[in-house]
Chains A and B, each alone.
Chain A
Amino acid sequence: MSPVPVPSDLPVELRTEALESILVEKGLVDPAVLDKFVKTYAEDVGPLNGAKVVAKAWTDPEYKARLMEDGTAAVAELGFKGPQGECIVVLENTPTLHHLVVCTLCSCYPWPVLGLPPTWYKDPAYRARAVREPRALLAEFGLELGPEVEIKVFDSSSEVRYMVLPERPAGTEGMSEEELIPLVTREAMTGVAKTKAPAGHDHDHEHGH
């Protein structure tokens, strides 16, 4: 009989199926529990949670003050807690200060408010370059920051998880908390994009320039 094979020449899909099959056979894993984990993180725990936090902070100054003081407690007020959310610190972007979040050593990310990290966040290029040439990286992502904007990059090397509070876009002054939620993206809450007013709402802003 052949010796134990080396791992690398088998497709990852097949190896995943094999590991699940062994654990199920041993009675250690229930496939229904795996289904539930997958569904939770595919559908329920995602950036919509963080968007609710941001929209509330934009419309409720007292909530914003609590959020900046103790992010963990303030997001828990909205029911968001769990793994990778033990200590959440919120970083506020302004017209002259831009925060960017990365994890160079793995891919630490604030799951309870943003869900699982997207591919770009986990990519070696992002992890390598965010701490070396953030301005060039952001420009490639479509975010050009002027020289007057100070950049602070946060490398998530401890159990503290960072979330960016983006600037509320001009032209959204009349919008309600509920209406603001869909404007807030995962990318804005990581610092690789800004939030934009919906089409038609930024008319005054455009003329102000």
Chain B
Amino acid sequence: MDGIHDMGGMQGWGRAPFDPTEPAFKAGWEGRAFAICLLSMNRLTGQNLDAMRHALERLHPLEYLRNGYYGRWLLMAETLLTDSGVIAEGAVDARARKLRGDDVTEPPDPVLNKPDYTATGPGSLRPVDDPPRFTVGEQVRAKDIHPAGHTRLPRYVRGRVGTVKRILPSALLPDTNAHFLGENPQHCYGVAFDSTELWGGEAEPFVLHIDLFDSYLEAPVENQP
């Protein structure tokens, strides 16, 4: 989806805060939110890594940004737990108000609703029988597509022409796996784009490398007479 998470190339953020000395967790709640989220993925909810990333993308843009990385991890955990019917919608807020001393009735437990999915193997890498469609050195175009669901094809490369530099290990297609529509393992390619192809002739000179799944790519020139 074309959401707030797809930040590559956006302007107006200013300087990035740079502190090489910071600890892993700057506050106690960050560590708790992180740990709860890791447990909420497979073990508690039956969700997968791609569904987890998509849960982040589904957050309202203001919520995505409000409490930084671990703030959105907390909301990601809550989303996955709610999606799978482990906790009720609104349960966290009700409990928080109760902890604060408010007189609140907590919502009843929902019906468990875990995805009907068992991974065919550990992690994300899977073999693909067919040979890769593209070869190293070949030109490819990132498709100009705008799926409403999860995708790992960012806006800033869509429609742009690059060169295949590496054949990466084949892996589950996030676009289908996130929605439990099948693991759909595909070849994945390391593709290089010139900065001027992405940002125009005045761009800083550099090369952008990005990993793109087979179904994100097409031959750059359609067969024309």
B96 touches A10 (CB 8 A): yes
- List, in ascending order, chain A residues with CB within 8 A of B97's CB: 5, 10
B182 at the interface (CB under 8 A from A): no
Q: Which residues of A138-154 are within 8 A (CB) of B? A: 140-142, 150-154
Q: Check A122–B68 contact: CB distance below 8 A.
A: yes
User: Which of A17, A104, A115, A125 interacts with B8 by CB under 8 Å?
Assistant: A104
Closest B residue to A13 using CB positions: B29
The reply to whether A119 and B34 contact each other, CB–CB distance below 8 Å, is no
CB A138 to nearest CB in B, in angstroms, measures 10
Q: Are B11 and A152 in contact (CB under 8 A)?
A: no
- Chain A, interface size category, equals 35 or more
Which of A83, A141, A160 has the largest number of chain B CB atoms within 10 A? Answer: A160
- Most chain A CB inside 10 Å of its own CB: which residue of B36, B44, B81, B87: B36
- Choose from B11, B44, B65, B67 the contact partner of A128 (Cβ within 8 Å): B11
CB distance from B39 to the nearest CB of A (A): 6
Decide yes or no whether A94 CB sits under 8 A from chain B.
no
Q: How far is the CA of A8 from the CA of B36 in the complex (A)?
A: 19
Q: Within 8 Å CB of A140, what residues of B?
A: 15-16, 18
Please report the C-alpha to C-alpha distance between residue A205 and residue B81 in the assembled complex, in whole angstroms.
Answer: 57
Mask for B37-76, Cβ within 8 A of A = 1, else 0? 0110000100000000100100000110111111100110
B223 to chain A, nearest CB (A): 28
Asked if A123 lies at the interface with its beta carbon under 8 angstroms from chain B, I say yes
B93 touching A5 by the CB < 8 A rule? yes
Are A116 and B34 within 8 A (Cβ)? yes
Q: A54 CA to B92 CA in the complex, in Å?
A: 44
Bound together, the chains give a CA A139 to CA B7 distance in angstroms of 20
**Are A1 and B35 interface neighbours, CB within 8 A?**
no
CB A128 to nearest CB in B, in angstroms, measures 4
The contact sample of 19 A-B pairs, CB cut-off 8 A, is A12-B67, A12-B70, A16-B33, A19-B95, A22-B91, A28-B86, A37-B35, A38-B31, A106-B53, A125-B16, A132-B204, A135-B204, A140-B18, A152-B206, A155-B208, A157-B152, A157-B210, A160-B188, A185-B20
